[in-house]
Homo-oligomer: A and B are copies of this chain.
């Protein structure tokens, strides 16, 4: 059960901590557990890492290296904004694959103390956004864009982590991702139209009715569609308000 080999104690501590952190299911991991698994006593830990957080930072640094490395390998596509998209997805993927490690990195939030790893992640994203800016695809300063996107990215990942695996809906991520990228990009050609009005059930039903007839949606079979339209007609001719 212990981590032996003739590896130096420092390495054994790192592996023990990473292993326990990965298996613990988010529960707290004590220094005693770590030192015991590493086959080492307490002072050794504090000699090498200062304190518990120092150890965790070291573990996180290793995890982040892996994260960044995968990031950079994939980087060189022609489209900077497409790279950002992939960066977002890998961020989420990393968080869901190693939730405990991710939470040590991004979930350990305290006021006025920003973990170094956040700044690193921000720098990485900013660097990529810079390319987009050079290409004239950015409508916002890269720094602000990076912070904004990263904030949303972390928020989404944290929310997905709190969900039980089977229920996870990655659509949430994709949608938020595209919203953020679209918002900072220059491709928007918005034109706020004169909208309005309230549409109660009847109006909505009428709109749907018209829209359905005009488009060839294949979400419903023809027999289903027929019955659907009949009900729709019933609703839209009723006088609810």
Q: Which residue of B lies closest to A180 (CB)?
A: B179
Question: Is A187 engaged at the interface, CB distance under 8 Å to the other chain?
Answer: yes
Main secondary structure of the interface of A (DSSP, over half): helix
Q: How far is the CA of A163 from the CA of B109 in the complex (A)?
A: 11
Could you tell me if A183 and B190 are in contact, using CB atoms closer than 8 angstroms? Answer: no
Could you tell me if B211 and A207 are in contact, using CB atoms closer than 8 angstroms? Answer: no
Question: Is A147 engaged at the interface, CB distance under 8 Å to the other chain?
Answer: yes
B-chain residues with CB within 8 Å of residue A144 when the two chains form the complex? 169, 171-172, 175
Question: Is A222 engaged at the interface, CB distance under 8 Å to the other chain?
Answer: no
Question: Is A77 engaged at the interface, CB distance under 8 Å to the other chain?
Answer: no
B-chain residues with CB within 8 Å of residue A198 when the two chains form the complex? 134-135
Question: Is A112 engaged at the interface, CB distance under 8 Å to the other chain?
Answer: yes
Q: Which residue of B lies closest to A150 (CB)?
A: B159
Give residues in A with beta carbon < 8 Å to B: 25-26, 99-100, 103, 107, 109-115, 118, 134-137, 140, 144, 147-148, 150-156, 158-159, 161-165, 169, 171-172, 175-176, 178-180, 182-184, 186-193, 195-201, 203-205, 207-208, 210-212, 214-215, 217, 219-220, 224, 228, 231, 234-235, 238, 240-241
